[in-house]
């Protein structure tokens, strides 16, 4: 098998049944809070909705079926930097044309889960009404401390993760590749392009991260200045979770690792508020899809390590944050995402080759609008296939 040549081992997602039974026991024993009057979601996760979700989790959710379905993807584990990294490595179905290797980088509060729906569309476009010449080899690793990857032996920043993903692509035999990401994964893809411009042919991102600018604001356009101000307002109104992750993640981890309902409340509110669901979360995610992500967090016990990455990323220097990406860059800025940069900023900070504003989708666009997201990737990366050496 090709993967064995590169030191990868097949990985089985199966959770210990005792862990799942303990999860159900804890869910049944939940001590519920009261709720203030007024808008159900105004102070955080809605009590009535979470009760409904938890009842489904206990009585109807079929974890075994979800594990089986996801397990049909080609899952592997490899040792990188002293810890085991889980990844999906799905190769293009049609190899008669040059195949671009595509590394997809996820963020918080997700994992490889973010890209579950797009993997088959990217690897086998002909089976989904697309052009077989648009096929990719798709690599979706879980960041250390996320998903099924082991917790890192030392704290990692997005720069460190980018370095490990470059090492991973070497292990897989890919001299050159393209990368795409969102949320923390946008930063990881950015640093891959910054630190490995000889290997990254092009980079696609769903956001430009929270803005950082240490210079004289008078050189910025009015649109850019408004964006900086709007981002600061968003951080004040919606960024309490990030402040906790950045400053005292261990305090929150005690509660979230012990209470599956607490864990659900912490994540579900973000799935709703960051997606293009119009306030109705199940317009974007079914209960089974939500609970698959939550159960993965629970069985792997890694909510604490996932949150701690915010703390380590806070140590990234101003010099690193201010670097301009010279690798050809593309952006798809979805309408319901949390902080949407203006084109002037993208041109300032990157070698901008393409920027689009799709008409629907949010922070989790690969999951919310998989066909639309895949088309964005196909359209952006198509001109760069000829740049692949060998």
Q: Are 15 and 23 in contact (CB under 8 A)?
A: no
Q: How confident is the model at residue 390 (pLDDT cuts 50, 70, 90)?
A: low
Cβ count within 10 A of residue 56: 14
Structural tokens at position 9 = 């081992």
140 to 165, 185, 289, 320, 388: CA distances (angstroms): 10, 11, 18, 25, 20
Q: What mean pLDDT do residues 363-378 have? A: 98
* pLDDT for res 4: 52
* pLDDT for res 210: 87
Q: What mean pLDDT do residues 300-317 have? A: 97
Residues 221/319/241/334 CA torsion (nearest 10 deg): 40
* pLDDT for res 389: 62
Question: 232: domain range?
Answer: 2-387
5 pLDDT exceeds 70? no
Lowest mean pLDDT of 34-38, 57-61, 297-301, name the range: 34-38
372 pLDDT exceeds 60? yes
pLDDT above 90 coverage of the chain, percent: 92
74 pLDDT exceeds 80? yes
* Helix or strand holding residue 332 (H, E): strand 325-332
267 pLDDT exceeds 50? yes
312 pLDDT exceeds 90? yes
The pTM of the full predicted model, rounded to 2 decimals, is: 0.96
**Mean pLDDT for the chain overall:** 95
6 pLDDT exceeds 90? no
pLDDT in tens, 110-127: 999 999 999 999 999 999
Q: What mean pLDDT do residues 304-315 have? A: 97
pLDDT in tens, 150-203: 999 899 999 999 999 999 999 999 999 999 999 999 999 999 999 999 999 999
Q: What mean pLDDT do residues 328-337 have? A: 98
* pLDDT for res 84: 96
In this structure, what CATH number is given to the domain that contains residue 176?
Answer: 3.40.50.1820
341 pLDDT exceeds 70? yes
* pLDDT for res 7: 75
266 to 26, 151, 272, 334: CA distances (angstroms): 17, 20, 11, 23
Domains in the chain: how many in total?
1
H helical segments located in 208-248? 222-238, 240-247
* pLDDT for res 343: 97
Please tell me the distance from the alpha carbon of residue 373 to that of residue 184, in angstroms, as a whole number.
18
* pLDDT for res 299: 98
Q: How confident is the model at residue 1 (pLDDT cuts 50, 70, 90)?
A: very low
């Amino acid at each position: 098998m090709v993967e064995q040549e590169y030191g990868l081992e097949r990985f089985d997602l199966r959770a210990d049944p005792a862990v799942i039974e303990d999860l159900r026991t804890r869910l049944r024993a939940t001590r519920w809070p009261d709720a203030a009057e007024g808008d159900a979601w105004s102070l955080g996760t809605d009590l009535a909705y979470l009760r409904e979700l938890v009842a489904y989790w206990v009585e109807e959710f079929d974890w075994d079926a979800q594990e089986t379905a996801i397990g049909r993807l080609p899952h592997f584990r490899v040792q990188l930097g002293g810890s085991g990294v889980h990844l999906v490595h799905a190769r293009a179905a049609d190899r008669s044309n040059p195949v671009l290797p595509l590394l997809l980088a996820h963020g918080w509060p997700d994992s490889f889960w973010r890209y579950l729906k797009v993997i088959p569309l990217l690897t086998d476009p002909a089976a989904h009404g697309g052009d077989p010449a648009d096929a990719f080899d798709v690599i979706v690793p879980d960041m250390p401390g996320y998903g099924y990857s082991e917790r890192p032996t030392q704290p990692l920043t997005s720069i460190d993760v980018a370095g490990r993903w470059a090492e991973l692509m070497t292990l897989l035999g890919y001299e050159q590749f393209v990368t795409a990401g969102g949320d923390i994964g946008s930063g990881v893809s950015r640093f891959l392009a910054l630190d490995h411009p000889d290997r990254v042919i092009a980079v696609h991102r769903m956001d430009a991260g929270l803005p950082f600018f240490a210079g004289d604001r008078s050189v910025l356009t009015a649109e850019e200045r408004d964006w900086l101000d709007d981002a600061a307002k968003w951080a004040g109104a919606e960024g309490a979770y990030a402040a906790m992750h950045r400053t005292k993640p261990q305090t929150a981890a005690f509660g979230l690792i012990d209470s599956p309902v607490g864990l659900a409340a912490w994540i579900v509110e973000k799935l709703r508020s960051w997606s293009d669901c119009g306030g109705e979360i199940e317009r974007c995610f079914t209960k089974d899809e939500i609970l698959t992500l939550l159960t993965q967090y629970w069985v792997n016990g890694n909510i604490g390590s996932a949150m701690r990455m915010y703390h380590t990323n806070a140590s990234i220097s101003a010099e690193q944050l201010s670097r301009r990406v010279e690798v050809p860059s593309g952006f798809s800025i979805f309408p319901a995402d949390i902080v949407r940069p203006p084109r002037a900023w993208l041109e300032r900070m990157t070698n901008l080759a393409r920027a689009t504003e799709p008409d629907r989708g949010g922070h989790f666009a690969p999951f919310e609008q998989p066909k639309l997201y895949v088309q964005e990737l196909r359209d952006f990366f198509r001109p760069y296939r000829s740049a692949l050496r060998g």
